[in-house]
Structure 1
Amino acid sequence: MLRLENKVAIVTGASQGIGRCIAETFAREGAKVIAVDMNKLPYENKNIYGYEVNVTDRNGIKVFFDTITEKFGRVDILVNNAGITRDALIQKMTEEMWDLVINVNLKGLFNIAQLVGPHMMEQGIGSIINIASIVGEYGNVGQTNYAATKAGVIGMTKTWAKEFARKGAKVRVNSVAPGYINTDMMKTVPEKVLENMRGKTMLGRLGEPEEIANAVLFLASDESSYITGHNLSVNGGMRL
């Protein structure tokens, strides 16, 4: 039996990397997937519906939400994966770099969860998975803005787990904190740096997008029906 059969799932930041892998994994497991990104969505899968919208655009997100709920009738799963980086040491970080990362990585999640969470409460059930980061757990040099947002994602996860489960609603909210994963972004990192990253993991390697997608799939499915308010670290045993 497919683990997400007849489920309707929204995945943000779904045009590439981890987000795309999550969307494809969900579709393979039987879900109707609404893949959201501000960039062109490259899908040909009949069970993946692309929708171009910027998560920081509150009006655009409202139109999107109204459109998909009218078309599909419900939302069973939300994966908040949209996020960006603008790295610099704090003394070199501009206000623009700070504001942009805060807006996408925090406000973007807030904008869509503010609509989807209450919707799930009304239907009585749902699963929200927020993508955090190892950097939000341990910090990292040159990533003040990114670390702040990903720590905030974990805090929002625990808060929403409490808020959206009120009045008997079986709405679960969890987060996944990936370590360093083999995506296109890593292709620009020098091999010496990659080797250092691998050496910091207990498993001696970087992760694969499919390994994050599988963790998210578990939290989205009924197999994790008694798990909420939890941050799942998927990092190969890495410590920064």
Structure 2
Amino acid sequence: MTTHATDPFADWLRLREPADAAARAGDLVDRLRVRLPAGRPLVVHDLGSGTGSMARWLAPRLPGPQHWVLYDRDAGLLARAGARPPVAADGSPVTIRTRRCDITRLTDADLADADLVTASALLDMLTAEEIDRIVAACVGAGRPVLFTLSVVGRVTLAPAYPLDAAVAAAFDAHQRRTVDDRTLLGPDAAAACAAAFPRHGVPVTVRSSPWRLGPEQGELIAEWFTGWLDAAVEQDPTLADRATEYGRRRLAEAAAGELTVTVGHDDLLAGVE
């Protein structure tokens, strides 16, 4: 049996996977399914795959044998993904190959054998130029694209507190920060990607796919909230004094099952009329 050392990011991906699965727009898969080839194994290239949650969600919704190529920069995450292959909708086998690389440098030649290109919770970590390059590679390969769970800067907590809006604004600014000369798009990425495909003459459909978290997701709410607040305070240190009590109250509410959170995302399907 393969074992892996504790990895906080992998643990975060594990914790959020059920919420991701519940949020993704299933009707886009219905539209996509009829456009995929039949009579041979389906080839799917998944960008920024992490531990493989997109494959575990989508493969059971697609029929027939499948071969997934999973891309990530983290070898540890890829090892976890490769150890957990899903099964297709009709019970057919699903094989996995992993590729450790920088997805922002992919070309249409890298995607040439794909029938479908996917990604999940990826776009907000990219720059405008990187999104344009990925879109150009997908368009050049002539493949349908399904990008899911791109954050869009809409967060609602209930009950509401006056500090919510300031923290949300600081978090969004943190997502748009410049890192190593890369200015991230953060919550603007989904719209930028949705605009990029039509510039190449490729149609796009966008669906809202929010997390709707309640008392049964208290552990996820606490982890999400802690990261959300920490990033906001890092971006705007003037929030620090008020954030201590605010964070304590919010985490107590989460533990008591008294906090609900909606985190907005968009899903995007390109190349399918």
Which residue in 2 is equivalent to 1:114? 136
Offset of 1:119 from its aligned partner?
A: 2.2
Matched position secondary structure for 2:98: strand
The counterpart of 1:50, out of the listed 90, 94, 98, is 98
**Structure 1, unaligned runs of 5 or more:** 85-100, 227-240
Which residue in 2 is equivalent to 1:174? 206
Offset of 1:177 from its aligned partner?
A: 5.0
Deviations 1:44-99 (A, max 9, x none): 3252221111234x3xx23xx52442xx2x44233253367xxxxxxxxxxxxxxx
Correspondence 1:125-140 to 2 at 5 A = 126-129=144-147, 131-135=149-153, 140=168
Change (3 A) 1:177 1:184: same
Deviations 1:139-185 (A, max 9, x none): 82332041672332232233134224x3xx6x535365544776979
* CA distance in 1: counterparts of 2:141 and 2:98, whole angstroms: 21
* CA distance in 2: counterparts of 1:221 and 1:113, whole angstroms: 10
TM norm structure 2: 0.47
Matched position secondary structure for 1:132: strand
* CA distance in 2: counterparts of 1:145 and 1:173, whole angstroms: 28
Offset of 1:194 from its aligned partner?
A: 4.1
* CA distance in 2: counterparts of 1:146 and 1:49, whole angstroms: 31
Correspondence 1:210-221 to 2 at 5 A = none
Q: Is the Cα contact below 8 Å between 2:120 and 2:150 reproduced in 1?
A: no
Change (3 A) 1:193 1:14: farther
Change (3 A) 1:119 1:83: closer
C-alpha root-mean-square deviation of aligned residues, in Å?
A: 4.4
Are residue 146 (structure 1) and residue 175 (structure 2) matched? Answer: yes
Q: Structure 1 vs Structure 2: percent identity of aligned residues?
A: 10
Change (3 A) 1:118 1:83: closer
TM norm structure 1: 0.52
Change (3 A) 1:108 1:173: farther
Report how many aligned residue pairs link the two structures. Answer: 175
Answer with 1 or 2: which has the greater Rg.
2
Whichever residue aligns with residue 36 of structure 1, its letter is Y
* CA distance in 2: counterparts of 1:82 and 1:197, whole angstroms: 30
Q: Is the Cα contact below 8 Å between 1:75 and 1:116 reproduced in 2?
A: no
Change (3 A) 1:200 1:25: closer
Q: Is the Cα contact below 8 Å between 2:71 and 2:100 reproduced in 1?
A: yes
Whichever residue aligns with residue 38 of structure 1, its letter is R
The counterpart of 1:39, out of the listed 46, 61, 74, is 74
Change (3 A) 1:150 1:131: farther
Whichever residue aligns with residue 141 of structure 1, its letter is A
Which residue in 2 is equivalent to 1:78? 118
* CA distance in 2: counterparts of 1:38 and 1:110, whole angstroms: 20
Q: Is the Cα contact below 8 Å between 2:111 and 2:141 reproduced in 1?
A: no
Indicate the structure with greater strand content. 2
Matched position secondary structure for 1:112: helix
* CA distance in 2: counterparts of 1:220 and 1:55, whole angstroms: 19
Whichever residue aligns with residue 185 of structure 2, its letter is T
The counterpart of 1:66, out of the listed 109, 117, 121, is 109
* CA distance in 2: counterparts of 1:66 and 1:194, whole angstroms: 47
